[in-house]
Amino acid sequence: MQDNPNSGKPGEAKPHRSLFERLTALIAPEPDSRSELLAILHDAHERNLIDADALSMIEGVFQVSELSARDIMVPRSQMDVIDITKPIAEWLPMVLETAHSRFPAIEGERDQVVGILMAKDLLRYYAGASFDVRQMLRPAVFIPESKRLNVLLSDFRAKHNHMAIVVDEYGGVAGLITIEDVLEQIVGDIEDEYDFDEEQDNILAIKAGEYGPRWRIKALTELTQVNEELGTALTSQDVDTLGGFITNHLARMPHKGEVIDIDNLRFEILRADARQIHVLLVEKLPAPDADALDD
């Protein structure tokens, strides 16, 4: 019997090691903690052994294991839902404007989520066929706020789900989360066919809000372009983009759904990950009353 040339002792097969184990074996000294491993990866990046995108995704993977559903969910108040107790004509314009692929369906109240409506199923309505919204609903998946994102991602993949309703400890709806929300924590913003990506679409005027005109603006839009389009005078000596302006103003990274008022403008973070802002909703607020300022 021939000895295995890779074995440690004659006749003893060497245990198979995974690619990850073989790669980490090349790192010396071996890291004793996650922070030490990240420090080694940052050093590898500085020595051009891995690129910035790879480093960012690795950091995102670590972050996903530390975050829970409550950290990145769309809050209950900002959920785009359809109320099946109302006529289709009442909520159909919202479906068309938001252009989501899925909508939680409720019965009167946001705590009464009865299913998920796929936007593509509305084609039956436009075709003039017999259409019963309730029969079109898919089962809703409910998860606790504390569910870890890495576990949730595995569940999404295993059960082929794309959206989950997040509930609090009392069983009330706290928000919703999608598989795209989780993946964006790893790879950054994921744009679909409804996202704007042309330079001339950096600023899109949308339906006016409660106080005045509103715009959907890419965070990487130059402040000069914002000022020109909106008639504002936003300035900063440290940054050039609108996203940088907001982050610099707060001195921290804002989270998705956060609302910030600066001068007579209201900024709502529509899309953001742990590393940068992607899209904002900007609304002009009424100018301060001069008499009130004098007081």
Give every CB contact of residue 223 below 8 A, 6+ residues apart in sequence: 234, 235, 236, 239, 240, 241, 242, 245
Q: Is the pLDDT of residue 197 over 70?
A: no
Q: Decide if 264 contacts 288 (C-beta within 8 A).
A: yes
Q: Decide if 271 contacts 279 (C-beta within 8 A).
A: yes
Q: Is the pLDDT of residue 1 over 50?
A: no
Give every CB contact of residue 189 below 8 A, 6+ residues apart in sequence: 271, 273, 278
> Which two tokens mark 71?
């950290």
Q: What is the pLDDT of residues 76-100, one digit of tens each?
A: 888 899 999 999 889 988 888 888 8
DSSP class of 26: T
For the chain, give the mean pLDDT: 81
Give the residues across from 142 on adjacent strands: 165
The CA-based diameter of the chain, rounded to the nearest angstrom, is 99
Q: Is the pLDDT of residue 201 over 80?
A: no
Q: What is the pLDDT of residues 43-60, one digit of tens each?
A: 887 888 887 777 777 777
Q: What is the pLDDT of residues 114-147, one digit of tens each?
A: 999 999 888 877 776 677 888 899 999 999 999 9
Distance from C-alpha of 108 to C-alpha of 85, rounded to nearest angstrom = 6
Nearest to 203 by CA among 242, 229, 181, 234: 229
Distance from C-alpha of 105 to C-alpha of 176, rounded to nearest angstrom = 12
Most confident by average pLDDT, 2-6, 67-71, 154-158: 154-158
